[in-house]
Amino acid sequence: MATKKQILFPIGILVLGVGIAAGFSAMKKPPEEKDEKEIFPLVQIQPAAIQSITLDVSSYGLIAPKNQTKLVAQLSGQLVNVSETFVVGGFVKKGDVLARIDPNDYEAALIEAQATLAQARSALEVERAQGHVAQSEWERIRKNSNEFIPSELYLRKPQLAEQLARFKASEASLKRAKRNLERTYISAPYDAIIAKRDVSLGSVVSPGSNIGELNSISIAEVRLPVADKDMQYLIKGGINANVVLTTQYAGKQYDWQANIVRSEGVINQKSRMSYLVAQVKNPYAQNTDFPPLRFGAYVNAKIQGLKINNTATVARHLVKNNKIAVLTTDNTLTYQTVDILREFDDKIVLSNGLQNGDKIITTALDYPSEGMKLTTEHAKPSQLDSDEKNETQIAMKKD
């Protein structure tokens, strides 16, 4: 059986421990109460830039020659000469002889025409002389008898008309013979690049036979499709507008200056596009610093459009239902109504609703509402004061 002492001793130790713990607790300072800080949504902003812009219209197309000619033979015969420059890709000047048809038969025809003309001229002169003799004879007879009225046949007028007609026919034959002899030369009608050759030395051709195909290098054209909704951004329908043509050559990008010269005036039935035609002068200009604008090249085009003042350009996703989120001077959210002038790619051009320097909110908010507080800076973490640090260290040591 435990004695009274054995029972009271553990109880005393327990009470002593509780008292010491209570004393330490009384010595510890209560934690300092701090004001609760409200955290606002963090957003990024972009200042609105009001400026003047040109509403250019983008398009595309293929470079083609303004003039393209198919050479065909006008005579029959064998080709006795073909120029070394008459090859695909070769450059020729206006008047250069590309090929020659055997001229022997046509030279002979020219000689015959010259001879025929000489005979007709001689016969005409003889007939004129005979006409003068008949006229003189009638004048002599008329002095003796006023009753005599000569006929035109007597005065040899029909014979003179016949000889004159033969003379003119001979002149026409000579002219034709000369022209045929000239046509034995197949020449370039303008400065060109050879696009196709269908004959070789020794080929026999006849009227209508294909000889080759030439592309003029003085002016290049490109048909540029423009959507009907974009025509409103062009001055006078784009006529005389400047165009920048961009194309690739040997892995590098080059720009060419062009000019709109005409509209085709109809809407394409398949694409529902209007077509404007731009021209470039001297596309194959020999310039060591700049490459040629080759026929068949694909180009991107930027057609100069209207110049508009007081506009702002923003990303498409920032405008919803003609409203844009803006941060006010007191850091609250507000929605401003804007007028959309044009949409292209991922951008929108605004003509009204923003002022220069307005803070456009570019951050997507989960639950935005008019007038909600926002912040544009990260909240800084609060710092423990020195006393709190010391007390924390003491508590850690006691534990």
Q: Which is nearest to 86 in space by CA: 211, 190, 182, 206?
A: 211
Strand partners for 69:
214
SS (H, E, C) 376-387: CCCCCCCCCCHH
Q: Give the Cα-Cα-Cα angle 126, 127, 131 (nearest 5 degrees).
A: 120
CATH architecture of the domain formed by 58-65+218-307 = Beta Barrel (2.40)
CATH no. of 36-53+308-380: 2.40.420.20
Element (H, E) at 164: helix 157-183
> 318 burial class (0-12, 13-18, 19+ CB within 10 angstroms)?
middle
The residue extents of the domains of the chain are 36-53+308-380, 58-65+218-307, 104-178
> CA 259 to CA 278: how far, in whole Å?
5
Per-residue pLDDT of the chain (399 residues; tens, 9 = 90+): 556 666 666 666 776 666 666 666 666 566 666 566 677 888 888 898 888 888 899 999 999 999 999 999 999 999 999 999 999 999 999 999 999 999 999 999 999 999 999 998 888 888 787 877 777 776 776 666 665 566 666 667 777 788 888 889 899 999 999 999 999 999 999 999 999 999 999 999 999 999 999 999 999 999 999 998 899 899 998 999 999 999 998 889 999 999 999 999 898 888 889 999 999 999 998 666 788 999 999 999 999 999 988 888 888 888 888 899 898 888 888 898 898 888 877 888 888 888 888 888 888 888 888 888 888 864 444 333 444 444 434 334 444
Which of the 8 DSSP states describes residue 87?
S
Contacts for 154 with CB less than 8 Å, ≥ 6 apart = 134, 138
pTM of full prediction above 0.75:
no
Element (H, E) at 361: strand 359-361
